[in-house]
Structure 1
Amino acid sequence: MSKISFMTPVVTAFNPDGSLDVQGNKNVYEHLIKGGVDGIVVMGSTGEFFSMSMQDKKKLVDVAAETIKGRTRLLIGASCMDWRETVELGNYAIDAGAEAVMIVPPYYFALSDASVMEYYGKVAPAIHGDILLYNFPDRTGYDLKPEIILELARAHKNIVGLKDTVEKMGHTREVIKALRPEFPEFEILSGYDDNLVHNVMSGGNGCIGGLSNLAPEITSAWAKAVREGDLEGMVKGQRTIDQMMDLYAIGTPFIPISKRAMQLRGIEISDTCTVPFLPATAEQEAQIKAFMTRVGLL
C-alpha cells in the first residue's frame, strides 16, 4: 500500500489591505508542521487560488517552499483557467521544490470527457513534475469519471494521483477499483475530512481536509491511528471529526469562518479573505466560539 496521509489544504493569509501576508502564511505553516500534518497543499480551494494574481501565487510558492520544503510534504495548486498559465505556475512550483502540483480542470462551462482529455493533454506533457488531478464537481460543474482518470493515468506518466472532493465515497471507491489493478501506487485522496477511514479501508491513501487548518494535532493523531491499525483511535478520531464537520455549516463560504477560528486558537493571522468573501459576523463568531468549546478547542 502506498503512503496513507491526512494533508492540509492550507488557508492563505492576507493583510487587511488584501496584499499577501508573508509572515502570516509562515505562522500558519509553522502551526501545521508543529501539529504533525502529513503534508501541506498550498493554493487549493481553501487557499483562494481562484482570486489571486499570478504575481501573488508565485510569491506564495516561494514563501511556502522556503518554510515547508523538507519538513513535511509540499504540494502546490497550479490551477488557472488558461492552460498556459497552469503550465507556467506548475513548473514554477516544481522548480521551487514542490513534490507535485494539483490541477483542477477548467470551470464555468461543463466540459465533455473529450475536452477534459484535451486540457490535461496540453498541460501534463508541458509540466516537468508530478501532477495530482483535482475533481470537484460542485465547483467545476462536471465530474472526472473513473474511466477518464484511468485514461489520463495511462496517457501521462506524471499524473500520479487524485484529490476527489465528492461527498459520497461511492465515487472515490469506483476510482480506486478502476485504478488499483493497473496503477497500485496511484495516490487517491478524499476531499472531505470525515471520509478518511472509509477511503483507506477501500484501498485509498487518505484525505486532504480543511479542518486540519484549525486542529492539525487532531487530524494527525487520527491518521496515525489509521496507519497503525489502532481501532480505538480510529473510532475516537471519526467521532471527533464528525462533530467538527459542523464548522463548515457556520458560514458560506467557510474560509472566513476557518480563519476566524484559527485566530481564536492564537494563530497570528488576519481573517481577511479575497473579495467578495466577508469576515465572520458577530453572530457567526459566537457560533464559532460555541463550536470550539464543544469540541474542546477553547
Structure 2
Amino acid sequence: MPRAEVLSATPTLFRDDGALDEAANTALLTWLHGRVDGVFVAGTTGEFPALDRAERRTLAALALAVFGPDRTIVHVGAASTREAIALTADALAAGATRLAVITPYYLPADAEAVRRHFAAVGEAAGDADLYGYLFPDRTGVTLSPEQFAATGLRGGKLSGAAAARLADFRAALPDARFWSGADTEVAAVARAGGAGVVSGLSSAFPEPFTDLAAAVEAGDTAAERAAQARADEVLAALGGTVEGIKEALRQRGIGNGRLRMPAPAPHVERIATVTG
C-alpha cells in the first residue's frame, strides 16, 4: 500500500500588534521541514478570510522558500472569482506549481456556478496543478462526486462532510488525488486509496501522523495502534481547532498563540498535557 502523505495545514502566525510575523512563520516552516511531507498554506487553519492579498503572497513565498514547489500547496481560494484569479497570479509569480481553490462561499452557489468559478481559476493557473477544496460545513456549498468530476480538476481536499465521502469521490474520479482534512483518519484514508491528509494538528504534532502513515504502509499493526492513540490524544487536547494548534505551538516556543479571527479561548492546561 502506498504511504499516505501528511501535509501540514499551517496556521498563520501574527505579532502582538496583529501584523503578520514573517520570522515566526519561517520558524514554523523550518521546524516542520523534514518532519512532514509538505505544507498547505493560507487555508482554513491559516485564517485565510482574515488575510489580505499581500499577506497571502508573503506566506506563499515563505513556504516555497523552505519546502519548494513540489511540496507546497498554496490555497488561492476566495469568495469572489476575481480575487481568486488575482491570488492565483500571485502564487504563480512566487513559484508555486500546486494550488488549491475552495468553492465560493457566503452567497449560495449551485454546481454550475462552482464549475464556472473553478474553470476561471483553472485558466489562470495554466499548467499548475489545481485542486478543489470542498468544505461544505463552512462554505454552505455542497458538490456531489459526480458534480465535482464535471469540473475537470485533478483532485482535491475534502473536509467536514465531504471527507466522509472520500470513497465516493475516489470512485467518481479514480485517477484523481484526494486528501482528507480528517487529521486522525490517516489509516482509513490510505486504505480507501486517498493521497493522504491535510492536517492542521500535524503543524504542532507532526510525529503521530507521520508515524501512523508509516505504520500503515508497513502493515505494522502494533505501531499503528500506538500512533493512532497518540494522534487521538492530540485531537482530544487541541480540539482540532486553530486556537488549540496555535496554543500548542506557543507552548513549543513558536509564535504567541494570537488569532485574528474571534475564537474561544484555548484549553491551555489540557494542551500542556500533550506538549509537556
Alignment RMSD: 2.1
**Equivalent residue, structure 2, for 1:171:** 165
Equivalent pairs, count: 275
**Equivalent residue, structure 1, for 2:24:** 24
**Equivalent residue, structure 1, for 2:257:** 271
Q: What aligned pairs does 1:232-247 form with structure 2 within 5 A after superposition?
A: 232-247=222-237
**Equivalent residue, structure 2, for 1:8:** 8
| 2:259 partner amino acid | C
Contact 1:169 1:199 in 2 (8 A): no
Contact 1:73 1:99 in 2 (8 A): no
Deviation by residue 1:129-161 (Cα, 9 ceiling, x = unmatched): 1111101011111212100121112xxxxx222
Contact 2:135 2:161 in 1 (8 A): no
Q: What aligned pairs does 1:205-220 form with structure 2 within 5 A after superposition?
A: 205-220=195-210
1:119 aligns with 2:117: yes
**Equivalent residue, structure 2, for 1:57:** 56
Contact 2:3 2:190 in 1 (8 A): no
Unaligned runs of 5+ in 2: none
TM-score calculated relative to the size of structure 1? 0.85
- Secondary structure of the 1:194 match is coil
Distance 1:106 1:168, change over 3 A: closer
- Secondary structure of the 1:47 match is coil
Distance 1:279 1:67, change over 3 A: farther
Distance 1:3 1:240, change over 3 A: closer
The 2-side partners of 1:285 and 1:170 are apart by: 30
**Equivalent residue, structure 2, for 1:256:** 243
Deviation by residue 1:208-258 (Cα, 9 ceiling, x = unmatched): 1111011112212222223333333222222222222213438xxx21221
Deviates more, 1:256-265 or 1:9-18: 256-265
- Secondary structure of the 2:105 match is coil
1:145 aligns with 2:144: yes
Distance 1:114 1:167, change over 3 A: closer
1:286 aligns with 2:273: no
Distance 1:92 1:208, change over 3 A: same
1:200 aligns with 2:199: no
**Equivalent residue, structure 2, for 1:95:** 93
| 2:170 partner amino acid | I
Contact 2:3 2:216 in 1 (8 A): no
Unaligned runs of 5+ in 1: 154-158
The 2-side partners of 1:132 and 1:239 are apart by: 31
